[in-house]
Amino acid sequence: MTLQYNAVSLFSGGLDSILAARLIQDQGITVKCIHFTSPFFGKAESIPHWRKVYGLDIDAVDVGEAFVSMLAERPAHGFGKVLNPCVDCKILMMRQAVTIMRELGATILVSGEVLGQRPMSQRRDTLNVIRRDADVRGFLIRPLSAKLLEETEAELNGTIDRSRLGTISGRGRKDQLDLARALCITEIPTPAGGCLLTERENARSYWPVLLHTPKAVANDFDLCNTGRQYWNLDVPKTPLHLCIGRNQADNARLLTLARQGDIIFKTASFPGPIALGRPFPGNAWDATVVHSAATFAASFSPKSTAFAESSNKPVLVKTYAGPDYAAIMRPMEENAVPSVAVTPCRNGSWREYSWDEAREQIRAEARERQSMSTSSTV
């Protein structure tokens, strides 16, 4: 028989989401937990463990493309301290969850949000904005803080016993830990944000993609999560992106992420990392740029560098293209662009994007958008 669900619960894998789902499930309500994933968050590989340890029915749902579209269009409620669109993120997830609710025939949406826990997205006014913009008023319940918030239809009609819900608020964790003990939850997740958009190291690589790729897709950010990230800023307004693997896992991942128009670099006779160059729309790499990237990539092969220094001879770097893994794994001669002879060098054209310049550009764009918005309403 097909299991009938009464509620859908947003499930991050953090303690709050575990407690929220359990508070509802332990009232005899059938709950489907949804773990959303994207290039920026999600641990789908942990779901079998979570199911076993917490006794919850959990499925993963990929919202990567929808999330990237929201970033590309810029979040309506802005970014947080780094590149985190926390309010718009929650709205997007709830809208996605509502679609799943309708498919399952469920009537309750559960969220682990705690009143006052996060300064950007969990103030009382912001919680109301999220509820309004996600269009979930009446059936969204936040069990951990429920008795501090407006009653939902499920509480009013007796489906959910409000007296068994929480009055948790603020940024402390003691109440959650006490509740976990009461629910016999013994494996407590360590507190962590879990979103790469809150981390400067990642955001400084994401921002140039958002700035220069109007139609960015999830693959662009999966690429930013793989290996070392370098940029050539010599081309005005259209920097060039080069990713260099740190290890075998990165090298294999770069090959799977390669798509039409990308350029793969690999030293021909010496061990060394895979490098992937990705042109931005309307900006093909000319021979000079390819040579510069090959020179830079070869410098990450110690044996290539040592050979060039000791023999005073160049080394060959294969440059080839392949839109998919199978094409790249064919013998290089089948799809190779002519080899490039280079002297390995960390030339000054390629460098990491700094968080300071990314932050200033993010702020400048936000000021410009605000100015345009103000002008249009005058």
Region of poorest pLDDT, from 50-59, 75-84, 186-195: 186-195
* 325, pLDDT greater than 60: no
The 8-class DSSP code of residue 83 comes to: S
Amino acid at 334: E
Closest-CA residue to 211 (of 185, 188, 238) = 238
Share of the chain above pLDDT 70, in %: 93
* 337, pLDDT greater than 70: no
Region of poorest pLDDT, from 160-174, 213-227, 228-242: 228-242
Q: Which two three-digit tokens encode residue 269? A: 């006779």
Give me the pLDDT at residue 1, please. 46
The answer to whether 307 and 313 are in contact (CB under 8 A) is yes
> What is d(CA 145, CA 272) in angstroms, rounded to the nearest whole number?
54
* C-alpha distances out from residue 87 to 83, 117, 128, 338, Å: 12, 13, 11, 49
Give the right CATH number for 7-196 from 3.40.50.620, 3.20.20.210, 2.40.30.260, 3.50.50.60.
3.40.50.620
CA dihedral 342, 348, 350, 352 (to 10 degrees): 140
Q: What pairs with residue 1 in β-bridges?
A: none
| Number of other CB atoms surrounding residue 156 within 10 Å | 11
- SS3 state at 370: helix
Burial of 53 (0-12, 13-18, 19+ CB in 10 A): middle
Distance of CA 50 to the CA centre of its chain: 21
Give me the pLDDT at residue 376, please. 64
- SS3 state at 237: coil
Give me the pLDDT at residue 358, please. 92
> What is d(CA 16, CA 112) in angstroms, rounded to the nearest whole number?
5
pLDDT tens digits for range 338-372:
789 999 998 778 999 999 999 999 999 989 888 87
The 8-class DSSP code of residue 159 comes to: S
Compute the average pLDDT of residues 192-211.
Answer: 91
Model confidence at 332, pLDDT cuts 50, 70, 90, reads very low
Burial of 57 (0-12, 13-18, 19+ CB in 10 A): middle
> What is d(CA 140, CA 101) in angstroms, rounded to the nearest whole number?
11
Model confidence at 237, pLDDT cuts 50, 70, 90, reads low
Closest-CA residue to 226 (of 198, 206, 197, 200) = 206
Give me the pLDDT at residue 372, please. 79
Q: What pairs with residue 203 in β-bridges?
A: none
Length of the chain, in residues: 378
> What is d(CA 193, CA 121) in angstroms, rounded to the nearest whole number?
13
Q: Which two three-digit tokens encode residue 228? A: 């070392």
- pTM confidence score: 0.90
Q: Where in the chain is the domain with CATH 3.40.50.620?
A: 7-196
* 331, pLDDT greater than 50: no
Model confidence at 333, pLDDT cuts 50, 70, 90, reads very low
